[in-house]
Amino acid sequence: MSDVMQSIKFNTIEVPNRFALAPMTRTSAEPDGTPNALMADHYEGYAKGGFGLVITEGTYTDDKASQGYANQPGIINQEQIDGWKAIVDRVHAAGSKMLVQLMHAGAQFQANRFTEQPQGPSEVTPKGAPLGFYGDQTEWQTPAAMTKADIQAAVDGFAKSAANAKAAGFDGIEIHGANGYLLNQFLSTYFNRREDEYGGALENRLRLVVEVVRAVREAVGENFTVGIRLSQGTVTDPDYQLPEGAAGFRQIVEAVRDAGADFVHTTDGDVNRKHFVEGDESLASVAASVEGINLILNGSIDETNCQDVANQFPHTLLAVGKKALANPDFVQRLKDGKEIADIDFAMLQPKATITNELAWRKQNAA
């Protein structure tokens, strides 16, 4: 038995229980990307609600093409560092640990205050339509294929933002390599049509991911937790599969471990989803078979299955998203045996902002 409420040593972090708040974009920072008091209240609420680890929303990493949404927070200047520090201090005071998720939007770009031209591995437009609750854009733009200088700028942005995150007092860093953002795009055979050393075989498509992990590790030193979130599917193509299958995903996990990652955070719809071109393995089961790296698991984890998942994957953290949105005190409610509500997506309308969530809560409490 692996009790979900027991504390766990997770790399350099002592986490008070097995529950992590999954990273979720809230587009509620100041227009210039500075985190604010509203965000501090928001994240502190999850810490007070019992989540042992709080992971931030995707946070942009440079003043070029990394920002993906209007009112997305960044961590590229002193004002943004100071804004995050105030939030981290409040989360720590409430008894939880905190990671920042560093994100480059790549081709999945809905708004950017620095440029109107998205960048990606190749001139390939994302499938589907932009997410309406994150902005008003109705069609994806076609990205410019990144030059070697663009790629280096992206790597440098991740590294500098990692150093800034350490200065802000975060307990560690999660690199966003999932859900169709830049690093996931380089791994994808849909987005990545390059014919240079960054395209073609998986080893080449992995190159940028490895370079980013190494650069982040060098920026923060050895005794600081660094990990990466990985998926196959994207927000607009949830059924994408690596052509290399489970063996290919194992190669990715081993590569990021060898580059300096302490953990992998898997997300693919359901923690036990059988989602490879063949076989019956899940992202979680493949990652769990790799020695020398810890795991955060995400995907339809709730009050009905969290203990079973914890038993199935010992020594892992369990990241909760939708149930956390519905119940910021999910962990405390679970501990106390109280009712846990399902999410009402009306709370994210017309935009998935903290202000709209609070208005929904006030209306439904009346």
- 82-113 in b/e form (b: 16+ CB < 10 A) is ebbeebbebbbebebbbbbbbbbbbbbbbbbe
Is residue 198 annotated as a catalytic residue, yes or no?
Answer: no
- 191-226 in b/e form (b: 16+ CB < 10 A) is bbebeeebbeebebbbbbbbbbbbbbbebbeeebbb
Check: CB of residue 112 under 8 Å from CB of residue 118.
Answer: yes
Check: CB of residue 263 under 8 Å from CB of residue 295.
Answer: yes
DSSP3 helix / strand / coil % (the chain, rounded to 5): 35, 15, 45
Please list the alpha-helical segments (H only) found in 135-244: 148-168, 182-187, 202-205, 207-220
**What span, in angstroms and rounded, lies between the C-alpha atoms of 66 and 181?**
9
Lookup: tokens for 267:
């997300």
Nearest 10 degrees: CA dihedral of 156, 353, 319, 89? 70
**Phi/psi at 60 (5° precision):** -75, 160
Q: What one-character DSSP code corresponds to residue 271?
A: T
The active-site residue, picked from 181, 190, 198, 240, is 181
**Bridge partners, 74 (sequence order):** 60
**What span, in angstroms and rounded, lies between the C-alpha atoms of 222 and 201?**
30
**Bridge partners, 265 (sequence order):** 229, 296
**What span, in angstroms and rounded, lies between the C-alpha atoms of 101 and 60?**
9
- Name the residues annotated as catalytic: 181
